[in-house]
Structure 1
Amino acid sequence: MSGMCSHFRLVTLILYLLAIDLLVVTSRSFPDRRTVQLHRNSNQYRVNNNRPIIGILSQDLSKSMASVSPGSTSYIAASYVKWVEGQGARVVPIKLLIPGGGASLLTSGYSKAGSILYELAIEANNNGDFFPVWGTCLGFELLLYLSAAKRNYLTSCESYNRASQLKFLSDASTSVLFERAPLAVMKTLRKEKSTSNFHHWCMTMENMTTSSLDKFYRSLATSTDDKNLEFVATIEAVNYPIWGVQFHPEKNVYEWGTNLTSVPHSSDAVKAGLYFGDFFVNQARKSQHRFSSEQEEASNLIYNYTPLYTGNVSSSFLQSYFFY
């Protein structure tokens, strides 16, 4: 994704697809904690939308990925698509599940487009329009960056190609994300090295406090890197339906690269990875966003694109979708 034209097309698609008649948020101050906690008002948002569509934001191409599809400008790893499709949702490329990857938080088209979408989501939720957001790995880091008024509080760490357990914090038991999680899933996450980590930057609990991000997000769980540095692994926004994980739950199920030696593929680890996808899809079921017609819906779905094999050029993704 490159150039301002791409960004305006993206915003137009988001505005039209999700029926949000809003201006982009200009204030980046933390919201008043008295803001209605949309994600906790389960009675208000028990919408039975059994045809949920989740947008996935594409990201900038590396040189190796560009070689697979010359002329393309961005891509989405197929594992992200499968992760939500497997839980009963469909996908439209370029929207709001913020995937992981290696793009810059400061300069990439991914970051700039993600910023626009984040602001639209905040504004939508402030106006009572339920608009859930999920961030994985780089998406997790991008959420923290944007929520801190575009200031970077991440610290260097070594947690690449590493499987880890989760250390649950006190807020986990009362969180929307974990309060109804199956006991078997919680046990797996706590006892087994069941989360797949591929990152060189981490958010510490200390920096959550220093940045005041602990006023926006509840830290639900931590993990440790190769040098025993403890970092935040899971977050949930206090007043918004926004969640993020530093690890890759989709890799447990769908990524099998020969260099991904740490990815846990046990039956229990797979179930744990799928739990997060199931949770987010069920959040999407609370939304009544619709396309204006079946024809328009069909023309925008990811089924219009064919994934290509990328395991020969990427150590992270076996298949990817490419966009021009």
Structure 2
Amino acid sequence: MPRQVALLLFVVSFLHCEGAAVKDELPAADNERPIVGILSQEQSLYLHSKYPEENYTSYIAASYVKHVEAAGARVVPILIGKQREYYRELMKKLNGVLFPGGATYFNQSNGYADAGQHIYEIAIEMNLAGEYFPIFGTCLGFELLIILASGQREPENRVRCYSYTNLPLDFTSDFRSSKMFSGTTKDIIDILSSENVTVNAHQFCIVDQNLEAFNLTDDWRVTSYSDDKHGVQFIASIEHRRFPFYGVQFHPEKISYEWKLSKQYPHSLNAIKSNRHFMDFFVNECRRSLHTFGNVEEENRYAIYNYEAKFTGVLGSQHHDIYFFEPRGIPKDQNSISNINKR
């Protein structure tokens, strides 16, 4: 466990026991111009093969961008492989961060997991200082949140879990007292709990034993479960008890914005409106943050609008369109592409 992570977790644990830091009363959702950062991730071998000359460093699936924008926020891409100060300075201007799903590994240096660790630790510092800063993790992003909360990388605090289907949610008995679902209308809850409208696409998951093994149950509350193809009951939604950190194992963004036929994503009206709840909720949490850029010109320099999404669905990608970042050109050592993880 890195020394700084251990120290931070000790401070968080101490303040939790002493009842200090984050106030019980939530700040009002007064920010009508929220800006959400979305963390990019390493280029995959498959995507590299489609754009070999560009040799992009990282990417973000456009479905996440559209999902955030549909909830009334703008997006700033957060690049991987940067120094801690890059993330700190950017987070002072953002109102929240989304950890997207994907297929990268957590043990790659200067990648998605390292950037996520910087963001997670800085967000804790900000919330302890009285600044409201939310994080939302989807699928891989949710797993990363729990692994970071566990305070170590190896062995990773998650289990093998195979689910590539659409499932309902099995809500916990007290889910209505959670922040994520306290204000959710009955019709949305009924759809989520009785229809196969949550898209699952993962081979790892978090189970109760992962929380118990690292004493996380005091800090994290489970609000729903689902079952994988072998009957493993995995945590489908979760939230931190003190900080505005949230996670779902499924993919709400795919319902409206991903169209690969072989994936058989549900696109019914019920599926669309029930899955909209999650990003609408998160962006409303981001409205409680009053961080701002210095001016409109600075906002524009960082915005996702500076990049053009590429139509990758026609190339066979699971993502309909993708934003790519920081092209490196053809590597001098062609063998270096073997280090790029497979999708």
Same fold (TM over 0.5): yes
- For residues 280 and 68 of structure 1, the distance between their equivalents in structure 2, rounded to whole angstroms, comes to 33
For 1:205, the aligned partner's letter is: D
For 2:8, the aligned partner's letter is: S
Offset, 1:226 = 0.6
1:92 is matched with 76
2:146 is matched with 144
Structure 1 SS opposite 2:56: coil
2:302 is matched with 300
2:43 is matched with 61
1:204–1:230 contact (8 Å) kept in structure 2: yes
The alignment's C-alpha RMSD in Å is 1.8
2:162–2:228 contact (8 Å) kept in structure 1: yes
Offset, 1:270 = 0.5
Structure 2 SS opposite 1:147: helix
Task: Deviation per CA, 1:122-169: give whole Å up to 9, x if none.
Answer: 000000010000000000010010000024221111112x11110101
- Match for residue 78 of structure 1 among 32, 37, 62: 62
- For residues 138 and 105 of structure 2, the distance between their equivalents in structure 1, rounded to whole angstroms, comes to 15
- For residues 59 and 191 of structure 1, the distance between their equivalents in structure 2, rounded to whole angstroms, comes to 34
- For residues 219 and 121 of structure 1, the distance between their equivalents in structure 2, rounded to whole angstroms, comes to 21
Structure 1 SS opposite 2:33: coil
- For residues 6 and 211 of structure 2, the distance between their equivalents in structure 1, rounded to whole angstroms, comes to 23
1:3 is matched with none
Structure 2 SS opposite 1:213: coil
Superposition map of 1:57-206 within 5 A: 57-69=39-51, 70-94=54-78, 96-107=97-108, 109-151=111-153, 152-160=156-164, 162-206=165-209
Structure 1 SS opposite 2:166: strand
Give the number of equivalent residue pairs: 297
2:219–2:241 contact (8 Å) kept in structure 1: yes
- The range that moved more, 102-111 or 134-143, is 102-111
Task: Deviation per CA, 1:161-180: give whole Å up to 9, x if none.
Answer: x1111010133110000000
- For residues 106 and 314 of structure 1, the distance between their equivalents in structure 2, rounded to whole angstroms, comes to 27
- For residues 296 and 46 of structure 1, the distance between their equivalents in structure 2, rounded to whole angstroms, comes to 25
1:35–1:159 CA distance, 2 compared to 1 (3 A): farther
Structure 1 SS opposite 2:9: coil
- Match for residue 291 of structure 1 among 293, 315, 329: 293
Structure of greater Rg: 2
1:280 equivalenced with 2:282 (yes/no): yes
Structure 1 SS opposite 2:75: strand
Structure 2 residue runs of 5 or longer lacking an equivalent are: 79-90, 92-96, 327-343
Offset, 1:207 = 2.5
Structure 1 SS opposite 2:104: coil
- For residues 171 and 117 of structure 1, the distance between their equivalents in structure 2, rounded to whole angstroms, comes to 30
Q: TM-score, normalized by length of structure 2?
A: 0.83
- For residues 29 and 198 of structure 2, the distance between their equivalents in structure 1, rounded to whole angstroms, comes to 31
- For residues 138 and 313 of structure 1, the distance between their equivalents in structure 2, rounded to whole angstroms, comes to 24
Structure 1 residue runs of 5 or longer lacking an equivalent are: 1-22
Sequence identity, in percent?
41
1:25–1:119 contact (8 Å) kept in structure 2: no
- For residues 316 and 68 of structure 2, the distance between their equivalents in structure 1, rounded to whole angstroms, comes to 22
Q: TM-score, normalized by length of structure 1?
A: 0.87
Structure 1 SS opposite 2:200: strand
- For residues 316 and 26 of structure 1, the distance between their equivalents in structure 2, rounded to whole angstroms, comes to 40
- Match for residue 28 of structure 1 among 1, 9, 29: 9
- For residues 35 and 133 of structure 1, the distance between their equivalents in structure 2, rounded to whole angstroms, comes to 21
Offset, 1:62 = 0.4
1:48 equivalenced with 2:30 (yes/no): yes
1:295–1:24 CA distance, 2 compared to 1 (3 A): farther
For 2:196, the aligned partner's letter is: K
- For residues 189 and 37 of structure 1, the distance between their equivalents in structure 2, rounded to whole angstroms, comes to 31
